[in-house]
A and B are shown apart, each in its own frame.
Chain A
Amino acid sequence: MNTDTKKEKSRLKKMVESFGLPRLLITLFLILLLILAPIVGADLPTQITNIIARFSWNGILVLAMVPMVHSGCGLNFGLPLGIISGLLGATLSIEFGFTGAFSFIMAILIATPFALVLGTIYGWLLNKIKGGEMMIATYVGFSSVSLMCMMWLVLPYKSPNMVWGMAGKGLRTTISLEGYYINVLADILHIKIGNLEIPTGTILFFALLAFLIWAFLHTKTGTAMTAVGSNPTFAKAAGINVNKIRLLSVVMSTWLAAIGILVYEQGFGFIQLYMAPFYMALPAVSAILIGGASVNKASITNVIIGTILFQGIVTMTPTVMNNMVHMDMSEVIRIIASQGMILYALTRKTEGSK
């Protein structure tokens, strides 16, 4: 009996350890928020609708972290590069005059070659600088976003729905997707019970991609990718072409980011250009880390749990805080929690990679 409780205790301790203290705190915080929400007078179904909606928008962007983490390239701080491919796809699709659901499919089709080319260059670069991926990824993202800032102004876009009305050239900072692919996925099998809404289509699309990634990681190439990430020397000895696998993972991440931003836009309703993609990597990075991933380990479960937790906190804190103390500290809490999570992950010792 006594030994049993002891065992229980040590088991609990181990669980906490494997779960990680910050993650535990964040989970408890979200649970607290969910309990508080009805008490302070926020409508719980609306809140849950918000969380589910935001999960469906962001899921794929977080999923885009997985391949690169698996191949040992670290967290993909270069996510903006993929986002830019997606933005190119979106704007070109509208420019070519596609509308409705078809514009979404075309956006994906047009974004894909950009993502493949940019991803290949990016992957080639990351192979040259093994060990310093994360910092350089960050700055590759920044440079590409600021380069595209110039391009959005200069490129000869003509569609009156996208360019500045006065000048007749240069893309606007936000472009409405009304009439294009707003909610194309969310409206498929859309469920509405009272105040609770579920964008089934978007979630199914995420599930499809997540399943594909999961299945891929179980193919021969996929296991090779995991091997490269966990022990590159061993992988090399086993005859795996490390550089090729890493390149593949980077291309996959970049492509997923491109699709991810398109899905985000269809839910959000707008295309955001210029500096908008600048810091988009950070929420995705912290989300997957909150979900239990580390710098060199990540699973689909991490993505799902992390996105729900992260988006839950982002949507819940402002409402609960405002209703409770009339003081909106959510922004500060969000920054401290998400950046703290990244810091925590960076300070963990990683096996294999070094």
Chain B
Amino acid sequence: MKSKSRLLIRLIAVAVVIAVAAAMMVIGRGHTIYFDNKTLEANGQTYTAPYQIQVFVNDQSVGKLKEGDRGMVDTMGQDFKMVLHITPEKDAKKTGSAVTLKLPYNMDGIIINLPALLGGAPEEVYQSEFIPAEVEEDVEDVDVSSDEFEMPMGDE
């Protein structure tokens, strides 16, 4: 009997650990978000970029984007909140707006076109995946550290 309950406890423990791991995979998923303040044309509609947008994430300014600029921030998890301060014309008054977004899990880098987002465009219009340019590089020769001729120092 004792061994049975012990097995049960162990199974529960393993299940809990797996659950924690799963939770970590959800809440810990990192994304890099790129903000574009660029005029976008889609579906016959034009979303004009304002003079300047300042983006705040977690009460910290992550960039003042003039027209045509791109800013970026690293985030964790799929719920993304930001506050945008929009200046439509030079020397015009700022208007603030808070935005909450759901991010797709399987994208590492996400480009968000702010004018389109503010203009109420659908998700597939304002959001696109950022694909890093393939950097041509010389095939790097791996220096496998063997058990020979190695400098035992490290720890710096």
Contact = CB atoms under 8 A, between A and B. Distances in A.
Asked whether the complex places CB atoms of A and B closer than 8 A, the reply is yes
Interface of A: 272, 275-276, 278-280, 282-283, 331-332, 334-335, 339
Interface in B115-156: 144, 146-152
Q: For chain B, what secondary structure do more than half of its interface residues adopt (helix, strand, loop), or is it mixed?
A: loop
A275 B149 contact: yes
Interface residues of B, number: 8
B4 to A, nearest CB: 36
Nearest to A142: B152
Contacts of A278: 148-150, 152
A339 B146 CA distance: 12
B143 to A, nearest CB: 11
A139 to B, nearest CB: 12
A275 B150 contact: yes
Interface string B17-38: 0000000000000000000000
A272 B146 CA distance: 17
B141 to A, nearest CB: 10
A267 B146 CA distance: 23
Interface string B27-59: 000000000000000000000000000000000
A335 B147 contact: yes
Contacts of B144: 331-332
Contacts of B147: 279, 282, 335, 339
A275 B152 contact: yes
A81 to B, nearest CB: 17
A276 B146 contact: no
Best-surrounded residue of A280, A282, A331, A334 (most CB of chain B within 10 A):
A331
A334 B146 CA distance: 10
